[in-house]
Amino acid sequence: ETGVTQTPRHLVMGMTNKKSLKCEQHLGHNAMYWYKQSAKKPLELMFVYNFKEQTENNSVPSRFSPECPNSSHLFLHLHTLQPEDSALYLCASSQDYRGAYNEQFFGPGTRLTVL
């Protein structure tokens, strides 16, 4: 596969469940991102990892727990979510996070519904 892939594409979970979202990039990039996309709102940057180190955490609730085991994989672990957490979760990657501009490439997203 090429580009940025995300699994699952759709997920329905109860508030007491624990689930994980997976992102994989095949571009040789060193920076990976999690975004939350809610209807009629701008994309919200949640986390950034650069060379496997967490660089940004935009005041995300602790019920979202990211993990970056290597530069190609990024996970978002979910537990005790709320219905307002229902959204499209997008993963992106870029060559680097610091320095000159470099393009972010996005995955197709995971549509999450919390019941």
Interface contacts to other proteins, rule CB under 8 A: 3-4, 31, 40-43, 45, 48, 50, 55-56, 90, 94, 96-99, 101-104, 106-109
Query: Which one, 55 or 70, has the nearer CB to other proteins?
Result: 55
| Gap between the terminal Cα atoms of the chain | 32
In the bound complex, what is the minimum distance in angstroms from residue 9's beta carbon to other proteins? 8
Q: How many CA within 13 A on the CB side of residue 45?
A: 13
In the bound complex, what is the minimum distance in angstroms from residue 102's beta carbon to other proteins? 6
Query: Which one, 66 or 109, has the nearer CB to other proteins?
Result: 109
In the bound complex, what is the minimum distance in angstroms from residue 81's beta carbon to other proteins? 22
In the bound complex, what is the minimum distance in angstroms from residue 31's beta carbon to other proteins? 7
SS (H, E, C) 8-77: CCEEEECCCCEEEEEEEECCCCCEEEEEEECCCCCCEEEEEEECCEEEEECCCCCCEEEEEEECCEEEEE
Query: Which one, 8 or 96, has the nearer CB to other proteins?
Result: 96
Using DSSP's 3-state secondary structure scheme, residue 84 falls into helix
Query: Which one, 31 or 76, has the nearer CB to other proteins?
Result: 31
